[in-house]
Structure 1
Amino acid sequence: DPFYNSCEEHPLTMDEFDNFLHRRGAFEPPKLKEGVKLLNGIRLVLQKNAKHKDTFTPHTISFTADAYQSMVRAMRLPFRAIEGTSVVGPFFWCAYDQDDEDPTLQIIFRKSDVRKKGKTRGWELMLSHCFSSGITSGYVKGTPSSDIVAAIQHLTFCAQQAGHPMLLPIIILSHDLSSTTDQKQRDARDWLRKLEHAVSMRNEIEDEEGYVSQDGHLEVDAISRDLVECHSQVLWKRPQAYQAIVKEIDAGLVKFKEKVPKEHDTPLIDKLHRSMVARLQFYSLKLTGIENYQATTLERLHIQRSALYNLLSQRESKIQFQMAGEQRRLAHASKRDSTAMKTISLLGAVFLPGTFLASVFSMTFFDFAKDADPVISKELWVYFAITVPLTILIVGGWIVFDRRRESQFRVEDADLERNIEHMEADIMAMMRKRTMSKANTWTSVTSPIRP
Structure 2
Amino acid sequence: MDDYLFRWHLDQCKSVEEKTTYLEIFNYTDPAYNTCEDHSLLTEDDFENFLAQTGTFAPQQLKDGVSLLDGIRLIIQKDANHANTFAPDYISLTRSSYESMMKTWRLPFRAIEGSSIVGPFFWCSHDQDKEDRHLQIIFRKSDVRKKGKTRGWEIMLSYSYKTRITSGFVKGTESSDIVKSLKHLTACRAEVGHPLLLPIIILSHDLSSKGDKRQRDARDWLRRLENAITMRNEIDIAEVYSDFDVDGINRDLVECHSQVLWKRPQAYQEIIKEIKEAMRKFMQYEPEGGQPEEIYALHDNMLARLDFYRVKLTGMEHYIHTTLERLHIQRQALYNIMAQKESKLNLEIASQQRRVAHATKRDGTAMKTLSLLGAVFLPGTFMASVFSMTFFDFKVGPDNAGEDSGKSEVSSELWVYFVVTVPLTFLIVLVWWIIDRRRERKYAEEDIEIEKGIDTMEKDILAIMRKKTINKASTWNSNGQPVGFH
CA distance in 2, matches of 1:444, 1:34: 75
Q: Structure 1-normalised TM-score?
A: 0.82
Cα distance, 1:88 vs structure 2: 2.1
CA distance in 1, matches of 2:397, 2:278: 134
> Counterpart in 2 of 1:134?
164
Cα distance, 1:208 vs structure 2: 2.7
What SS does the aligned partner of 1:325 have? helix
Q: Deviations over 1:155-201 (max 9, x none)?
A: 11111101110000000000000011111111111111112222222
CA distance in 2, matches of 1:362, 1:40: 137
RMSD: 3.7
**Contact preservation (8 Å) 1:89, 1:112:** yes
Q: Which moved more, 1:20-29 or 1:276-285?
A: 20-29
Q: Deviations over 1:405-428 (max 9, x none)?
A: xxxxxxx9xx99x99997797457
Decide which of 256, 281, 301 is 1:230's aligned counterpart: 256
Cα distance, 1:232 vs structure 2: 0.9
> Counterpart in 2 of 1:437?
471
Change (3 A) 1:116 1:355: farther
> Counterpart in 2 of 1:303?
329
> Counterpart in 1 of 2:296?
270
CA distance in 1, matches of 2:35, 2:384: 129
> Counterpart in 2 of 1:12?
41
Q: How many pairs were matched up?
A: 417
Change (3 A) 1:240 1:351: same
**Contact preservation (8 Å) 2:477, 2:483:** no
> Counterpart in 1 of 2:272?
246
> Counterpart in 2 of 1:153?
183
**Contact preservation (8 Å) 2:177, 2:206:** yes
What SS does the aligned partner of 1:48 have? strand
CA distance in 2, matches of 1:160, 1:12: 25
Cα distance, 1:349 vs structure 2: 5.9
Change (3 A) 1:133 1:350: same
Q: Deviations over 1:8-54 (max 9, x none)?
A: 11111242221211122222222223322221111111000111111
> Counterpart in 2 of 1:2?
31
Change (3 A) 1:3 1:349: farther
**Contact preservation (8 Å) 1:103, 1:131:** yes
**Contact preservation (8 Å) 2:156, 2:168:** yes
What SS does the aligned partner of 2:79 have? coil
Cα distance, 1:222 vs structure 2: 2.3
CA distance in 2, matches of 1:240, 1:95: 23
Q: Deviations over 1:205-239 (max 9, x none)?
A: 123312243xxxx2322221111111111111111
1:36 aligns with 2:66: yes
Cα distance, 1:440 vs structure 2: 2.1
1:109 aligns with 2:135: no
Change (3 A) 1:24 1:372: farther
**Contact preservation (8 Å) 1:131, 1:261:** no
**Contact preservation (8 Å) 1:110, 1:123:** yes
CA distance in 2, matches of 1:137, 1:346: 108
CA distance in 1, matches of 2:177, 2:222: 29
Q: Which has the higher strand share?
A: 2
CA distance in 1, matches of 2:193, 2:337: 62
- Percent of residue pairs bearing the same amino acid type: 59
Change (3 A) 1:359 1:92: same
Q: Which moved more, 1:429-438 or 1:220-229?
A: 429-438
Cα distance, 1:100 vs structure 2: 1.1
CA distance in 1, matches of 2:188, 2:248: 48
Aligned letter for 1:155? L
CA distance in 2, matches of 1:49, 1:358: 110
Change (3 A) 1:422 1:439: farther
Q: Give 5+ residue unaligned stretches, structure 2.
A: 1-29, 390-395, 411-443
1:319 aligns with 2:345: yes
Matches within 5 A, 1:62-81: 62-81=92-111
CA distance in 1, matches of 2:175, 2:276: 27
Change (3 A) 1:356 1:164: same
Aligned letter for 1:335? K
1:257 aligns with 2:286: no
CA distance in 1, matches of 2:377, 2:184: 108
CA distance in 2, matches of 1:317, 1:206: 33
Matches within 5 A, 1:38-437: 38-213=68-243, 218-261=244-287, 264-348=290-374, 426=459, 430-431=463-464, 433-434=466-467, 435-437=469-471
Aligned letter for 1:257? M
The higher-RCO structure (CA 8 Å, 6+ apart) is: 1
> Counterpart in 2 of 1:387?
none
CA distance in 2, matches of 1:125, 1:132: 22
**Contact preservation (8 Å) 2:181, 2:205:** yes
**Contact preservation (8 Å) 1:108, 1:125:** yes
Q: Which moved more, 1:73-82 or 1:202-211?
A: 202-211
Change (3 A) 1:358 1:17: farther
